[in-house]
Amino acid sequence: MHQLLHGHFGAAFYYNWLAFPVALGAGLVAVLFIAELACGRALWPRSWRLRVTPVGLAVGMGVLTACWALNVWLAVSQHKTELLNPHGVLYSLLVR
């Protein structure tokens, strides 16, 4: 995220491609909140609520885990050693 905020898009993508969707989502939420403040009314219906169910929570955690695993696999497969802790468990298991 640091590289992305400083305008180094190539480095941001190299370090963590997930910074782009997170920054986009945060930007959209910020624009929505600013528009609501400017208009003085709610633009997003507050009656719509996010219902957290056990299945939804499990799917969400599965998606986050899959994204994390993909990021770790990309770091290992592309030999991005500066992103890995050489004294950590993942490094000792995956890099030999």
Tell me: pLDDT of 26 over 90.
Answer: yes
* Domain map (residue ranges) of the chain: 1-47, 50-96
DSSP string, 29-63: HHHHHHHHHHHTS-SS-TT------HHHHHHHHHH
Tell me: pLDDT of 80 over 90.
Answer: no
Q: Return the pLDDT at 70.
A: 87
Please indicate, yes or no, whether the overall pTM of this predicted structure exceeds 0.75.
no
* C-alpha–C-alpha distance, residues 91 and 79, integer Å: 11
Tell me: pLDDT of 86 over 80.
Answer: no
Q: Which helix (H) or strand (E) holds 2?
A: helix 2-5
Greater pLDDT, 84 or 73 = 73
